[in-house]
Every structure is written in structure tokens, then in C-alpha cells.
Amino acid sequence: MNDWPEGWSDRNRGGGYGQGSAGAHPDGARVMRQVRRGPSAPPQGGVPQQPAYGDTYDSYGGGPEQYDSGYNTGQVYGGGGPGGPGGYDGRGERPAPNWRRRIKWTAIVVTVVVLGTTIGTYFWADSKLNREVDLSKVIDRPEEGEGTNYLIVGSDSREGLSDAQKKELHTGSADGKRTDSMMILHTGSNGPTLISLPRDSNVEIPTFVGSESGKTYKGTGRQVKLNAAYAEDGPELLVRTVEANTGLRIDHYVEIGFAGFANIVDAVGGVEIDIPKGGLKDTKSGANFEAGKQTLNGEQSLAFVRTRYALARSDLDRTKNQQKFLSALASQTATPSTVLNPFKLYPTMSAGLDTLIVDKDMGLFDLADMFWAMKGVTGGDGKSMNMPISGNAGNGNLQWDTAKVKKLVEELKNDETVTVSGN
């Protein structure tokens, strides 16, 4: 049974939005309360009058604004506006990203990080160089020429090796240290030239000043093997002897021992070498290689560069292998896979710098120049050779070809393309 008056439906019930009340009279007959525009005094009781429908205040408290419902335009309620669909959040439109500024600051941050890392690496590496050789103690030096001349020495120092490592690397346990290899590397405008000085070269020990004693030792014309100069008074006398017997000024000295050499090779992941037909086997150095291309680790590399007894020309062939290997090592070290990879770069640098012995004036840029020149020799931009030999001296040592050596030194001094050939 319907309790509503006749002719009424649910549509006429009160409580509906905008449909009137449940009173006895329809909306059209009711008297609507007048709506005032603008503020009015609060009614008694202290409760402020609420804004009437159709009035609103802006979000900044600036006063009343006319509210536009959008009903007359067909606009969906709540649609449009920056704060959401149709809503006004009071913040205005969000500005577009300033990409130019973002890119500029990103570039600045990246540049600062790269510069900071580079500078930090430079000072770290520079602090690790062992500047132990004082070339100012070398007397009666030749005049400087064009380009730069490095004397690179591989010593048989066992320093830093345990007994197990000495056995593994087949180094023996001899006290002190001697030179296993000596090379002159010339860098200049006509490409690098790498010249091996056989350890058995016959040379004269000149007048020199002792590196430790400071005492002058007069030359007596003694004829000895070149490596004897190093054994007698170390790097300074070796430089003095090379300069006196060639007439070529040595600008920088670089030395590395057995342990450092093996560690560098292992740090770069080994070095690829092409072993000639017939292979290479030497029980004294520990070399045991089949013919063909293969990657040698630190232990194997040391055995390869030390082998002499299994070679037809002994030390002359060994110097060729040493040149071949050092150039390959420099070439592999200077690749992007090593230089741009901090997990390979820093161990490699640390392994080398910890064991390198250089002269007091040697800088990192000089060291980098030396390595790039060694890489150039491998890449065909330079030349590698032995010091020209004419035969054997009366004492059995290897005698240099005086005429060829003189011409070679002149070409190096003038930084000219080397035309002299070695053995």
C-alpha cells in the first residue's frame, strides 16, 4: 500500500538532490530563502554563516569569486584545469622542464667527477714511482740531442719473491741483482727506435764517481761485458758506461725486476705471443712452448724472455724475443679494454709502478711516452734492432761495429730516420 498522496511517485519524495523536501507542498509552492551575495555578519551563537551556493573564495583569501558550475555549457562537473580533470588546485600550470639547464649541469657534474678522478689517479700513480737513480752523479756526459733516449733495464732481482715463487719462476736464489736485458728506446718525430744491447757486449769501463761512496775511480781501459758495469756500481755506472761507449746521452732510466715483470703480465690477463716453428724448450729458464700463437701468463712470459741456451745465436736471439715480447706487452696494455676498465687499469698500474725503478727526473708523462713508443714499434711505426756487431773481441765478448754504431748514434742525436741495420 502506498502511503504517499495520490499522484506522487518516488520522484516526488524529499531528500533527493535538488528535488525539494518531504513537506506537504511541492517545491514550486515553497518560499525560498533569499540568497545574499557577499559577506554578512555571523549569526548569534558565534557560528559563521557558510558561503551560499554560487559563492566561493579564491585559494589565496582574496575575496569572493563567482562560481561557474558549467551546467549551462554542457561542461562535465570537475572537468578541466591544472589540478586534475576540471579542478583548480591553486598552483597554476607546471612549467615545462628546462632541458638546456639540466644538460648543462649534468655536463658540469660529469666534468668535475672525471677531472677529480684523473687528478687523483695522477697523484696516486706519481707517488708510487720509485725514483732511486740519480743521473746527476754521472760525469762527463755527452751533449743532449733531439728526441728522448730511455735506457730500459730488466734485472734479475729476486726482491719480493718467496722461495716458492723463486722455484716456480725458475729464478734461482742468487744474491744481489744483475741485468738480464738492456735496451735503448729513442722517441722523436721520426718514429721510435728500439735498440737491444746484448749483455755480452764488449765495453770499456770509463772513469766514474761511485754512486754510494762519491769516490772517483779512474778508468784503466778495462774491457768487460756490459752487464758487469751494472753489477759493479749499479744503474749510474751502467748509464756512464753506455754513454762513454756510444756517445749517446741517456735522458731517462727505467728498470724492472722479475717479480714486477710477471705481475704486470698477469694484471693485463696475459700476453699473446707467436712461438716459431719447432717450439721453444729450455730447462734452465723453464720455457716449454709448442709452436703457434698462445697467451702466456706471468710465469711463462718470464721464462720466454730469459731463454737463451735453446736459441741458435744465444743472447742475440734472446734480445729479439725480448723486444718482441715487450712491444706486445705495451701494445696490449695501451688498449681501451685496459685503459678504460678501472678493474684492469689500476691493478696493472699498481703492479708496474710498485716495482719500477726510475731516475729522479722521470715523470708519469715520460713513462707514458715510453709505453706509447713501445706500442708504436709493434704497430710498425718504428724500428727494432740489435746493436750492430762485427764479431767477437779477443776476450770472447761481442764486439760492436764501430762505424755502424757511430752512424746510428748520429741519426739518433739528430732525430733522423734510422737507416743502420743491426744483427
Rounded average pLDDT over 52-79: 47
Alpha-helical segments (H) within 209-282: 226-246, 258-267
- Nine cell digits for residue 169: 719462476
At residue 286, the pLDDT reads 86
Q: Would you give the DSSP letter of residue 32?
A: P
Distances from the Cα of 138 to the Cα of 231, 239, 361, angstroms: 16, 7, 14
Query: 383 or 343: whose pLDDT is higher?
Result: 383
At residue 193, the pLDDT reads 94
Rounded average pLDDT over 306-329: 86
pLDDT in tens, 233-273: 999 999 999 999 999 999 999 998 877 788 889 888 899 99
* Dihedral angle computed from the Cα positions of residues 365, 238, 193 and 352, in that order, rounded to the nearest 10 degrees: -40
**Residue 161's pLDDT band (cuts 50, 70, 90):** low
Q: Would you give the DSSP letter of residue 201?
A: B
Half-sphere exposure of 19 (CA within 13 A, CB side): 11
pLDDT in tens, 191-217: 899 999 999 999 999 999 999 899 999
pLDDT in tens, 383-410: 999 999 999 999 999 999 999 999 999 9
CB 419 within 8 A of CB 193: no
pLDDT in tens, 6-47: 544 444 444 444 444 444 444 444 444 554 555 555 555 555
Q: Would you give the DSSP letter of residue 367?
A: H
376 pLDDT more than 90: no
At residue 149, the pLDDT reads 97
| Interior/surface letters 131-169, b for 16+ CB within 10 angstroms, e for the rest | eebebebbeeeeeebebbbbbbbbbbbbeebeeeebeeb
